[in-house]
Structures are given as C-alpha cells and as structure tokens.
Amino acid sequence: MANRREAWFEQANGFLDPGLIRELKRLREAGIDEEQEAVPVIVSFDHQVESSIRQEALDLCSTGSCNEVHGELRTPKGFYGKISPGTIRRLTEQDGVRKVFHDREVRSFLDVARKSSGVTEVQAQEGLTGKGVTIAVIDTGIHPHDDLMKPDSRIVAFADLVGGEEEPYDDQGHGTHCAGDAAGNGHLSEGLYAGPAPEAKLVGVKVLDKNGSGQLSQVIKGVEWCVENREKYDIRILSLSLGAPAFESYRDDPLAQAVEAAWHSGLVVCAAAGNEGPYPGTISTPGHDPVILTVGSADDRNTVDRKDDVKASYSSRGPTLDLLVKPDIYAPGTNIISLSVPGSPLEEQMPENRVNEYYINLSGTSMATPFCAGVAALLLEANPTLSPNDVKSILKFTAQPMEGDRAGYLDVGRAVEMAEKYRSFQKEAQLKG
C-alpha cells in the first residue's frame, strides 16, 4: 500500500500553528477553493525584520479577491486579517515571516463566597474595599448597573472594540456579571450580593460580541489597549474570564505572549483556567502562560465553613502543554449571584438562574477569576507598592491546601496580612539600598 503524500500545510508544520493546520485540512476535505475562501489569521514577523520585507508580506495579504488585512499587533509583532489558503501557502516562502496562527474563536467561560473566602472578615476588621484600585474587565462589556453606578459611578472608562460605542453597555450579560463578581457593592441587595472590592474602580473593555465570542486578535487588542491606557486610568489589574483551546507552547501562543507583556508592564493579570474539567491537560489560553495568575473554580457548597469546600468538577486541570502546573489558585466560582443585564441573552438562555430583576446565579471559572481580581485589589489597597509577582506569590503562599492539587484555595485574611507585612520588608530593603 502506497504512503499518503502530505498536503502542503502538513509539510509546513512549525511554520503554521496546529490550529491553522486543522482548519486548512477541514477546508481541503470540504472541497473549498484555496483562492476563494478566507481564513482568519494572525501573522507574526521575525523580531528584526526589515520594513521593506514586512511591507512585501502585507502587500501579499492585501491582494486577491478575499484577502484583507484588518490591523497591526505589537505582541506578537505582526498583523491580523483574513487571507486565503493559497495566500497562506505563499506566505510559507516569504522572508521575514516567523509563524502564522489561526485567529480562532475565543469564548467566555460560563453571597456565601465572600464569607467562606474570608473577604467579609477582612472588610470588617481592616476596612479594605479596593478603594483606589482600578480593575479592567476584558469581556462582553459592562452594563451601568446600579451596583456599579450608585452612590457614585465607578466605571471610569469603556473601550468598545466590537461595536465602537462610547457609552458602557453589555449586549450579552457575561461581562457585567464578572464586573459584579469583582466589584459590585450590593446597592440593590442591601450589600448581600457584593463583590470583594466594592469600592474599586472599573474599566470595561468589550472584545466579545452578543454571543459571548470573538477572535484571538480582538482580545490581544483589548490587552494592548489596557497597557496603553494603564497610567491614564491607573489600571492595576486585568480580569479575563475567557479563553480558547491551547494548541501550542505559551512561548509561541500570541494571546499568552500579549498577557505576559501586560504582566511585565506592571499589571496583575487574572485569567480563567477554563471549564473543561475534570479532564487533565485542559487549561486554555491565555491561562497556560506560567507568568500570569490562572484561576480555577472552587465549590463552597453554599456554606461558610471552608472545611467542605472542594475544587469544582468542571474546573479545567493541568498540566499545560509545557507540562507546567496550573491553575495557580482556586477561588469561589460555583453558584455565584451577581449583576444581571435586563433582557440580555444570558437572562433569556438561563431564566431559571435569575434571582430577581437585578441579579443572576452563574457558575464557572469565569466567576472565580474576577473574584480573585477583586481580592488582588484588596492586597494592592493594603500595600500599593506590590508588584504583580508579589501579589501572585502572596496569594499562592497563603492559600489553603486543597486535597489532590498543587494549587490552594484563596485565604483572603492571611493574604492581606502578608501584603501589609511586605511594607516592613520593603522599608528594610530601601534602607540597605
């Protein structure tokens, strides 16, 4: 029996990411003309590529009946758009091009939690509320819910990379729930359904549409927007309750590299582990990046006592493709009551989850991630000089061990105590310096 001859895209393994090879194979099997069907891609250049060679690649991807370049990216250095398989094939012979990725779909990951994690006690004893800290929620948008707008508006900025609107809105509902998970103040529930950082400020960055989906490139642009506007809005934390399947090492993954760059710029990045548990090896991108803080979901079983808390069965497990331990921390994410957008697709899809006209009950690492972001805001309020690495180290070191896992469960009281102790260490270091 003769050996099957490999297709050109299979021979380009390493130059094309595995997700793109899979998509090109699907189109080939469907009999699609390689010059008539556009595929969403991200094209990355070599770091030292000459401008003339870079322009040749851009020109190549701008010609043809279905080719279109949509914009440029800084991390990775390159551009994104839609180009035909035939053009992709020609790119494999183009100087200066390092790799081509499938710009695949990214999706959102779908009261007692505050007490069981220790937030309520910290707020009562320490008076910490996230005041003075700004959290950027990169998601489906933020609805101006009363729990975010009264007594004073805490939505300090809104960037709509989907529809270009200027005023805050959320046409899906997921991002608003996440904003409340982090920083809702319980205005319409007499404080019952408040997040861990009820006085933190919020920035909404809409990168997902009304279906809760978007492209890798759109999320990367959202992360880049936050880095660009970090000082303008005093953004300290990014919360990403979204992800896509991880097909390759974080060293090559464009979204992982974008959030890692944000981390090194001084931003604490909290990303969802994903909801593909209990199967191992299911951590999504960007959560598989070792630098950022990847959050898994715990189930507090609707009790204040932490002894019966377990990791949620749906929460994605490691190891990552690079055989690294993930997630880094577990936070409450099961049956979390938070903000709802009236008449939103989320309400229509889950009418039984509505608590009343203002709130909805949801579960997922999507909920655990902004909760962790809110806790990070408490640490930064307690000690504004903490670096992202400090925040991650403190949360991991003070976490309560969880049976059968390397990652622990958030212990807010111990974490805040250590954040405050860091001040004395920092003063000693300054004196010695």
pLDDT in tens, 276-313: 999 999 999 999 999 999 999 998 777 666 677 788 99
| pLDDT confidence of residue 1 | 43
Distance CA 375, CA 113 (A): 12
Average pLDDT over residues 350-366: 94
Q: Is the pLDDT of residue 318 over 70?
A: yes
| pLDDT confidence of residue 72 | 93
Q: Is the pLDDT of residue 395 over 60?
A: yes
Average pLDDT over residues 16-30: 92
32-65 core/surface letters (b: 16 or more CB in 10 A; e: else): eebeeebbbbbbbbeeebeeeebeebbebbeebe
Q: Is the pLDDT of residue 411 over 70?
A: yes
Q: Is the pLDDT of residue 433 over 60?
A: no
Task: Name residues whose C-beta falls within 8 Å of residue 260's C-beta, 6 or more positions apart in sequence.
Answer: 250, 289, 291, 292
Average pLDDT over residues 126-148: 96
Distance CA 40, CA 217 (A): 9
* CA 383 centroid distance within chain: 24
Instruction: Give 197 or 429, the one with higher predicted confidence.
Output: 197
Instruction: Give 180 or 109, the one with higher predicted confidence.
Output: 180
Q: Is the pLDDT of residue 108 over 60?
A: yes
Q: Would you place residue 2 in the very low, low, confident or very high pLDDT band (cuts 50, 70, 90)? A: low
Q: Would you place residue 112 in the very low, low, confident or very high pLDDT band (cuts 50, 70, 90)? A: very low
Q: Is the pLDDT of residue 121 over 90?
A: no
Domains and CATH numbers, the chain: 9-103 (3.30.70.80), 107-423 (3.40.50.200)
Distance CA 424, CA 406 (A): 29
Q: Is the pLDDT of residue 373 over 50?
A: yes
Average pLDDT over residues 69-97: 93
Distance CA 358, CA 370 (A): 19
Q: Would you place residue 117 in the very low, low, confident or very high pLDDT band (cuts 50, 70, 90)? A: low
pTM: 0.92
Q: Which two tokens stand for residue 201?
A: 């400020």
| pLDDT confidence of residue 430 | 65
- DSSP code, position 292: S
User: Secondary structure of 365-381 in the HEC alphabet?
Assistant: HHHHHHHHHHHHHHHHH
Average pLDDT over residues 345-368: 94
Average pLDDT over residues 39-53: 92
Average pLDDT over residues 321-338: 95
Q: What is the pLDDT of residues 143-176, one digit of tens each?
A: 999 999 999 999 999 999 999 999 999 999 999 9
Q: Is the pLDDT of residue 199 over 80?
A: yes
Distance CA 115, CA 130 (A): 17
Give 362's strand partners.
Answer: 336
Q: Is the pLDDT of residue 239 over 60?
A: yes
Task: Give the containing element (helix H, strand E) for 227.
Answer: helix 216-228
**Of all residues in the chain, what percent carry a pLDDT higher than 90?**
80
CA dihedral over 152, 157, 160, 161, signed as positive or negative: negative
Query: What is the identity of the amino acid at 249?
Result: S
Query: What is the identity of the amino acid at 159?
Result: A
CA dihedral over 138, 139, 140, 145, signed as positive or negative: negative
CA angle 198–219–14, rounded 5-degree value: 140
Q: Is the pLDDT of residue 113 over 90?
A: no
Catalytic residues: 139, 174, 366
Q: What is the mean pLDDT of the chain?
A: 92
* CB contact at 8 A, 174 and 241: yes
**How far lies 424's CA from each of 266, 392, 433, in Å?**
21, 19, 14
| pLDDT confidence of residue 301 | 74
Q: Is the pLDDT of residue 135 over 90?
A: yes
Distance CA 309, CA 331 (A): 10
Give 103's strand partners.
Answer: none
Instruction: Give 182 or 303, the one with higher predicted confidence.
Output: 182
Give 137's strand partners.
Answer: 204, 239
Average pLDDT over residues 355-360: 95
Average pLDDT over residues 382-406: 94
**33-47, 127-141, 241-255: which has the minimum mean pLDDT?**
33-47
